[in-house]
Homo-oligomer: A and B are copies of this chain.
Amino acid sequence: MPAPLTLGQIVARLGGRVAGDPGTVVHQVASLEKADARHISFFTGARHREKLAATRAGALIVGADGEGETTRPRIVADNPYLYFARVSQLFNALVSQPGGVHPSAVVAKSVKLGARVSIGAGCVVGENVEIGDDSCLYPRVVIYGGCTLGKRVIAHSGVVIGADGFGIADDGGRWVKIPQIGGVRIGDDVEIGANTTIDRGALDDTVIEEGVKLDNQIQIGHNTRIGAHTAIAGCVGIAGSADIGRHCTFGGAAMILGHLRIVDHVNVSAGTFISRSILKPGTYTGIYPVDQHENWARAAAWLRRKGKQHE
């Protein structure tokens, strides 16, 4: 159980200012719907106004424009969602697993572990892997030999780091495997979602720079580089040798071809397929618009006919 805090204590640590009683005590964060008098919740937009009116939260985090929306004790912050994240971190640990190596984990003798590393049940860590301080592998993560993880890296269950990239050469209709002898280097503060896979490089390393956040079931091909502080939502696939910039975002199920470059500060919409380099920051989209089936069938037939017309 985390220690309770007053609103005054919270703003002393995190900034912002209190409106209402700074001695109000809160014990945990909660949603507007589920909060009771012991909880602090947050309000970020007019479309949640009904929930705000109905909430029983003991305190709230609001922006300047939300201050007048409630008379409950509240903290006014520049960015209430970010502030809420920081408050939640006061009450909750970032990882739910104790430190140390679970006895069922299989860790090669040559592995170098930093301080306070946590390795969950059933993890397998191969030869010459290095893992930085305060990193956490949840149960059943596999790290193949020769890969490097920075500090405060979190890898969720089912993650596989360093499996062979998809390197094959055509020999008259049969495929010849190209040994994958590069590694994977993962920077500090990277989080990797459940069942995500990051392949080792064919010759050089696959690189995930610091602060990258990867959701679940992402596939990252060999020799790809993901620039620092890029965030990638679930089910995204990035093919081999892609060079992805810093501070990019990828919506869910976006797919990126290999051997291309995306500069810094590019936002790729969910469901979008990127087939060539993007050299200018901005938001890029390519989604077939959904409709009722009959309407879709008409438009699709029309589009297909267009493809058969030689202009």
Contacts and interface: CB of A to CB of B under 8 A. Distances in A.
A144 interface: yes
A195 B197 contact: yes
Interface residues of A, number: 116
Q: Which of A195, A283, A311 has the most CB of B within 10 A?
A: A195
Interface in A284-300: 284-293, 295-300
Contact of A31 (B204, B252, B290, B306): B204
A237 interface: yes
A49 to B, nearest CB: 16
B168 A216 contact: no
A140 interface: yes
Q: Specify how many copies of this chain sit in the oligomer.
A: 3
A310 to B, nearest CB: 8
Given A158-B195, A213-B175, A252 B272 contact: no
Contacts of A86: 176
Interface of A: 28-31, 33-34, 79, 81-82, 84-86, 88-89, 91-94, 96, 102, 104, 106, 120-122, 124, 126, 138-140, 142, 144-145, 154, 156-158, 160, 163-164, 166-171, 173-179, 181, 191, 193-195, 197, 199, 203-204, 211, 213, 215-217, 219, 221, 229, 231, 233-235, 237, 239, 247, 252-253, 255, 257, 269-275, 282-293, 295-304, 306-311
